[in-house]
């Protein structure tokens, strides 16, 4: 089950369902029609595909099990992401080749499925299990809203003209670099994972106890000034700082700086969704892979936190107070004082491999493919980013990506064992 035994009331889902569905369309509003179809790399999907896939999710898991016919029988092949139990699908790396159906047909698909779901909810004709699947679909769509922005950033940022997604995004002046300080955490037995009540993904449960040796956590994530110092110190050229796979990736792909950074006319510039700017040393660093995060931590004489350490430090903090996509900046800020930016701004790599908690059970049926099948070759990230919708992330939330991935808004918070500094 996704929730505690009280379940979810269908009528309570109506405003949230409509708001989330409309937001996906709003994210795409600044695009020209050609932007919707581009797939800039195999890991990214076209905007049109995101709009259709999130609709397919509601149709496949809510409407069709109730006997309703598919809007178009061909859409299952085109817009299924990775649910093998539902049949064959278009390979991920070929999504950008599907110029048809046109965008107008995808938007008509969304309207039709939204009307059907809204009718079910308005008439309160769904049982508790179906209401919980709709709740899951709402959170699933929020995940794709972040992916929409990161994928669009890659589409636009890798084009020759590097056009802005929006030129009106809020930007501050050069920030102040806060001192990187340390907070001590005593050894103790801690509770890890989501409680039984409230929504959580299956990979956040069951809640269980783990032993946390004493550790120290940095008060803020690594900022651009520290990445510039790492570059200046030859960090990308020093094999002793890197995992073997990481250094092989650096050499193979020619990494010399974070993704979207470019050294031009004696200055470091970077692309963000507002266009090209000079790197602000005070801003929180992003678009760093796990390999880069691990190397920077080693260069700094530290390490990355374990996910249980990160969750223990985050427990009790208000996630909604973080800097999220709703704040209309869509780029990390400079960190403030105290234990800063635990939530929002950048996803923070941990040194924990993505795997099941003791007693983990995937969701029943086809939805069991949602998370569990990816528990291999991935590293855990925590905290959300400036592209994540507010209210989507909590202290127990587990994101995961391959260690070479860096098109997401991923950054670095340092940790050490007690007594190491």
Confidence (pLDDT) at 124: 72
> Percent of the chain at pLDDT above 70?
98
Confidence (pLDDT) at 172: 76
- C-alpha dihedral (15, 17, 18, 23), degrees to nearest 10: 120
With cut-offs at 50, 70 and 90, classify the pLDDT of residue 335.
very high
Cβ atoms 155, 34 nearer than 8 A: no
Convert the pLDDT of each residue in 17-74 to its tens digit.
999 999 999 999 999 999 999 999 999 999 999 999 999 999 999 999 999 999 999 9
Residues 190 and 118 in one domain: no
Confidence (pLDDT) at 5: 37
Residue 19 contacts by C-beta under 8 Å, 6 or more apart in sequence?
A: none
In a domain, 322, yes or no: yes
Confidence (pLDDT) at 9: 74
Residues 139 and 222 in one domain: no
Residues 89 and 190 in one domain: no
Q: Is the pLDDT of residue 279 over 50?
A: yes
With cut-offs at 50, 70 and 90, classify the pLDDT of residue 3.
very low
Q: Is the pLDDT of residue 2 over 70?
A: no
Residues 50 and 142 in one domain: yes
Residues 105 and 240 in one domain: no
Confidence (pLDDT) at 10: 78
In a domain, 120, yes or no: yes
Q: Helix, strand, coil proportions of the chain in percent (round to 5)?
A: 40, 15, 45
In a domain, 175, yes or no: no
Convert the pLDDT of each residue in 380-414 to its tens digit.
999 999 999 999 999 999 999 999 999 999 999 99
What range defines the domain where residue 354 resides? 182-417
Cβ atoms 133, 61 nearer than 8 A: yes
End-to-end CA distance of the chain: 44
Q: Which of 140, 157, 174 finishes a domain?
A: 157
In a domain, 174, yes or no: no
Instruction: Return mean pLDDT, the chain.
Output: 95
CA pair distance 406, 296, nearest whole angstrom: 14
Placement of tokens 């001192």 in the chain:
179
Confidence (pLDDT) at 174: 76
Q: Is the pLDDT of residue 205 over 70?
A: yes
Beta strands in 64-219 (DSSP E): 182-185, 188-192, 208-212, 215-218
The alpha carbon dihedral of 390, 392, 393, 398 has a sign of: negative
The CATH number given to whatever domain includes residue 201 is: 3.90.1580.10
CA distances from 327 to 96, 344, 387, 390 (A): 30, 11, 9, 9
In a domain, 31, yes or no: yes
If you average pLDDT over residues 309-332, what whole number do you get?
96
Ramachandran angles phi, psi of 360, nearest 5°: -60, 135
Q: Is the pLDDT of residue 4 over 60?
A: no
In a domain, 61, yes or no: yes
Q: Which of 141, 157, 173 finishes a domain?
A: 157
Residues 300 and 378 in one domain: yes
Q: Which of 157, 192, 217 finishes a domain?
A: 157
Residues 337 and 253 in one domain: yes
Residues 186 and 153 in one domain: no
Q: Is the pLDDT of residue 7 over 70?
A: no
In a domain, 90, yes or no: yes
Residues 247 and 333 in one domain: yes
- Residue 262: closest CA among 278, 246, 282: 278
Convert the pLDDT of each residue in 110-164 to its tens digit.
999 999 999 999 887 788 899 999 999 999 999 999 999 999 999 999 999 999 9
Q: Which helix (H) or strand (E) holds 246?
A: helix 244-253
Tell me whether strands 347-353 and 275-278 are parallel, antiparallel or unpaired.
unpaired
Residues 84 and 209 in one domain: no
With cut-offs at 50, 70 and 90, classify the pLDDT of residue 421.
low
CA distances from 307 to 265, 292, 345, 418 (A): 40, 18, 18, 17
Residues 120 and 41 in one domain: yes
Convert the pLDDT of each residue in 169-180 to its tens digit.
988 777 899 999
CA pair distance 122, 120, nearest whole angstrom: 6
Tell me whether strands 208-212 and 415-417 are parallel, antiparallel or unpaired.
unpaired
Confidence (pLDDT) at 6: 45
Ramachandran angles phi, psi of 137, nearest 5°: -65, -35
Cβ atoms 62, 366 nearer than 8 A: no
Q: Is the pLDDT of residue 1 over 50?
A: no
CA pair distance 96, 41, nearest whole angstrom: 9
The CATH number given to whatever domain includes residue 61 is: 1.20.120
Enter the tokens of residue 164: 């802005």
User: Would the pTM of this model clear 0.75, i.e. be above it?
Assistant: yes
Ramachandran angles phi, psi of 382, nearest 5°: -135, 155
Residues 291 and 343 in one domain: yes
Beta strands in 94-155 (DSSP E): none
CA pair distance 39, 97, nearest whole angstrom: 8
- Residue 151: closest CA among 95, 202, 97, 194: 95
Q: How many domains does the chain have?
A: 2
In a domain, 24, yes or no: yes
């Amino acid at each position: 089950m996704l929730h505690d035994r009280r379940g979810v009331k269908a009528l309570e889902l109506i405003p949230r369902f409509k708001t989330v569905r409309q937001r996906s369309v709003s994210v795409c509003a600044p695009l020209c029609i050609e932007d919707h179809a581009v797939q800039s790399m195999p890991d990214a999907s076209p905007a049109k595909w995101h709009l259709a896939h999130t609709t397919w999710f509601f149709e496949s898991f809510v409407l069709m099990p109730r006997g309703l016919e598919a809007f178009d029988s061909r859409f299952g092949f085109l817009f299924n992401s990775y649910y093998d139990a539902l049949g064959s699908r278009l390979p991920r790396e070929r999504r950008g080749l599907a110029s048809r159906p046109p965008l107008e047909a995808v938007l008509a698909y969304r309207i039709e499925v939204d009307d059907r779901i809204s009718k079910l909810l308005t008439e309160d004709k769904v049982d508790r299990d179906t209401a919980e699947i709709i709740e899951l679909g709402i959170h699933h769509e929020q995940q794709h809203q972040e992916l929409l922005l990161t994928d669009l950033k890659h589409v636009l940022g890798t084009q020759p003209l590097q056009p802005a997604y929006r030129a009106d995004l809020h930007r501050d002046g050069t920030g102040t670099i806060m001192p990187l300080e340390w907070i001590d955490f005593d050894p103790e037995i801690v509770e890890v994972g989501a409680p039984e009540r409230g929504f959580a993904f299956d990979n956040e449960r069951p809640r269980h106890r783990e032993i946390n040796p004493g550790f120290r956590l940095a008060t803020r994530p690594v900022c651009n000034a520290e990445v510039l110092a790492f570059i200046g110190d030859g960090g990308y050229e020093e094999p002793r700082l890197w995992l073997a796979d990481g250094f092989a990736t650096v050499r193979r792909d020619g990494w010399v700086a974070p993704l979207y950074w470019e050294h031009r006319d004696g200055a470091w510039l970077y692309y963000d969704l507002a266009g090209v700017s000079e790197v602000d040393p005070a801003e929180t660093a992003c678009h760093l892979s796990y390999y880069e995060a691990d190397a920077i931590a080693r260069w700094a004489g530290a390490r990355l936190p374990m996910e249980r350490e990160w969750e223990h430090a985050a427990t009790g903090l208000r996630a909604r107070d973080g800097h999220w996509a709703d704040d209309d900046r869509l780029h990390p800020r400079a960190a403030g004082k105290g234990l800063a930016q635990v939530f929002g701004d950048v996803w923070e790599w941990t040194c924990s491999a993505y795997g099941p908690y003791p007693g983990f059970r995937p969701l029943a049926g086809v939805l069991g493919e949602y998370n569990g099948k990816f528990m291999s070759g991935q590293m855990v990230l925590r905290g959300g980013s400036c592209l994540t919708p507010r209210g989507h992330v909590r202290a127990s939330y587990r994101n995961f990506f391959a260690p070479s991935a860096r098109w997401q808004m991923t950054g670095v918070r340092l940790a050490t064992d007690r007594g190491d500094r």
